[in-house]
Structure 1
């Protein structure tokens, strides 16, 4: 896959990808929201309130997404990727049209800090010409250790941090370092930290030192320290891969095929989900949901396609109100779930906000957008829920730079 799991070794930043502070209220005024004004098709219906003289029609509260075309609204759900060192003209056109939420960067996109800074400036100029006046989400996997897209901090892996003499201080320093490394080139989202609790030495997560510890009581405070420190730099953090890949064996990689993790519900909630609850409690900005299937929660669908996992477990039981993001949409774990468009609609139906199109192909993001437009127009996707997702994403973008 591209966005989140197995690191293909290439120092200093492997060429495999991965792909929050609870949403803070955005600044008022046009600078913090969409450029468009409310329209009858997108503003929520008026409600009636009881006043002293009887029922009074209240003023509809405009949403951040009011006034966007259906295609622009769908585009607010899509993270794009591209091949090589230069963004293609087609991606710049999509951004100028207000039909993209952001871009993910991989090792193949980065020749150095000056080069990627110039690319990001180009993308930001395109966004400034769009009708959507909030920053793009510009993201990478800067976990630390082997998994870094940019040279520089954090140099230590999560496992090295967990084994250090003062791990909480080390985790906070890593979060600060990751935020500063990304912010220096203009990125504003880190697809980190990994909060998976590895179960066996050398397993899928541990083999690349991506987990702090096999002890959830260690992972939780270190994840909190990383998240809080990074988000203070102005860079959003992403807790991944909910509800946890720590049980996965060495070869269980959702990039390469379906993965089923059959730990008990007690293990899932008491161990694997424990650090995510802690991250949500301190306001992590995003949560990435894995493509593994967890029979204890939903035996029939991968987590990121499961309304039970996303809606009931993450949002309901744990109380996350921020932005959810899928793992790589092209992952082989989804081989039996149809085309790019069908996968995008299934993820949106499950309650995922951002769809990560990380195949380094702009046409992938366009296909996902086309499918979301068609599904919303045809009533397959609920309009209220669709707008709520776009509004959560808008609120996140509005407080970033």
Structure 2
């Protein structure tokens, strides 16, 4: 997602900076949940937590078991609000729909302290389960260059990714840790970065979503892989989770899915070298992957990636082995999904294997949530998939110290 328009309270203080980012599958019986019903939960690797994997899974299951269906459905959404002045209407919609994640959008030059005040105010409306608050996951787009939502006192001016890609990986890792520390001080848990898309040199700025804004780390898979990984590792060592985007890559298209319908990549295959940065990031334990809204004709010509079981379940989950949270690119205002109703967007993404529905337009969340609930009543496979998705989101929150299971 391109955002050119556009507290860590309760987080564990301990951060294992030297621990590799490794995803782990857990045993089924946790926290008294019967083995037949307990789910394999894949904790968010590399996030700011000192809790062992089993404790993360147990916490996620405990919170899930105490939730109403409306609260569970709400965990499937991330709603966008203004970073500088969230509207009461948007906040009210997110609160009423039990939305569990928020994205700071737009542009704010208010600085770290003022942003933290905004975030703390938003966190105050989080749901409670059994008298304990289920912390909101707060995200933003902080890539650098023209895609930097938060600036002002306390925030560094970040260069674009192409400049970052010219640094050594050790330098980028160190600088990324510093930028992430600023986000953490502002109360942000998740950065919707790094960009893992590879823009070929001969396409360059003709590539509207990435190349035009110098959002790529380089023009070869190896450079993008090494530097997107360095950005992610540095960020997560400072306590901020990251998101590889935009799977399976927007580097070889012309149109921008934010502003153009029917964007097609007719080159990328399931064995393309341009998947290398995603494969590398996943193997390193990336906790989130964002799926694009383009169509990949040599992978699945019938669906945009976010609505494609072939892309999400077969390629991302099975072939690349990703076990974390799959988040959509913006399903609220993007022109790429304008021909779909909000209901179709939500159910299509979840049915394809996605977990977290991102919409920068909170007003459509009620229609989306209603559609999800309705389909759960009649479709057992969909209902089971939703349960798995909620568990993955809760496990991410538990690993980030956002759930109180004390």
TM-score normalized with structure 1 length: 0.80
Q: For 2:88 and 2:264, how far apart are their aligned partners in 1?
A: 40
Show structure 2 runs of 5+ residues with no match: 7-19, 40-59, 402-406
Q: How many residues were matched structurally?
A: 356
- 1:122-177 deviations in whole A, cap 9, x for unaligned? 1222226565644211000000122111123362211012223xx21232133213
1:242 aligns to 2:247 (yes or no)? yes
Answer whether contact 1:340 1:367 (CA < 8 A) is retained. Answer: yes
Matches within 5 A, 1:2-401: 4-5=1-2, 7-8=3-4, 15-16=5-6, 44-45=36-37, 64-83=63-82, 85-89=84-88, 92=91, 99-108=98-107, 111-127=110-126, 129=128, 133-151=133-151, 152-153=155-156, 155-164=158-167, 167-199=168-200, 200-202=203-205, 203-204=207-208, 205-249=210-254, 251-265=255-269, 269-330=271-332, 331-336=334-339, 338-359=340-361, 362-379=362-379, 382-401=382-401
Q: Does the aligned pair in 2 maintain the 1:76–1:101 contact within 8 Å?
A: yes
Mapped contact 1:193–1:240 kept (Cα < 8 A): yes
Aligned pair in 2 of structure 1 residues 176, 154: CA closer, same or farther (>3 Å)?
farther
**Equivalent-residue separation in structure 2 for 1:370 and 1:22 (angstroms):** 36
Distance 1:206 1:93, change over 3 A: closer
Q: Residues 193 and 296 from structure 1, CA distance in 2 versus in 1: closer, same or farther, beyond 3 angstroms?
A: same
- Structure label with greater radius of gyration: 1
- Report the Cα distance in structure 2 between the residues aligned to 1:118 and 1:44, rounded to whole angstroms: 44
1:91: how far off?
A: 5.2
Conserved? CA contact 2:266–2:296, under 8 Å: yes
2:119 and 2:187 in contact (8 A); partners too? yes
Evaluate the alpha carbon distance shift between residue 211 and residue 184 of structure 1 in structure 2; reply closer, same or farther with a 3 A threshold.
same
Distance, in Å, in 2 between the alignment partners of 1:156 and 1:366 is 38
Distance in 1 (CA, whole Å) between partners of 2:142 and 2:371 is 31
SS of the equivalent of 1:377 reads helix
CA contact (8 A) 1:257 1:333 kept: yes
Distance 1:46 1:368 in 2: 27
- Distance across 2 between alignment mates of 1:161 and 1:384: 42
Structure 1 residue runs of 5 or longer lacking an equivalent are 9-14, 48-60
Q: Which secondary structure state, in structure 2, belongs to the residue aligned with residue 153 of structure 1?
A: coil
Q: State the Cα distance separating 1:386 from its structure 2 match.
A: 1.1
Q: Specify the SS of the correspondent of 2:281.
A: helix
Conserved 8 A contact 1:134-1:398? no
Tell me how far 1:22 sits from its aligned partner: 5.7
Contact 2:161 2:214 (C-alpha < 8 Å) held by counterparts = yes
Give every structure 1 segment of 4 or more consecutive aligned residues whose post-TM-superposition deviation is greater than 6 Å: none
Higher mean C-alpha deviation, range 305-314 or range 326-335: 326-335
**Residue 22 and residue 271 in structure 1: after superposition, are their counterparts in 2 closer, same or farther (change >3 A)?**
same
CA deviations over 1:290-318 (Å, ceiling 9, x no partner): 00000111000000100000000000000
TM-fit CA distance, 1:63: 6.4
CA gap of 1:134–1:154, structure 2 versus 1, over 3 A, is farther
Equivalent-residue separation in structure 2 for 1:381 and 1:115 (angstroms) = 44
Displacement of 1:212 = 0.8
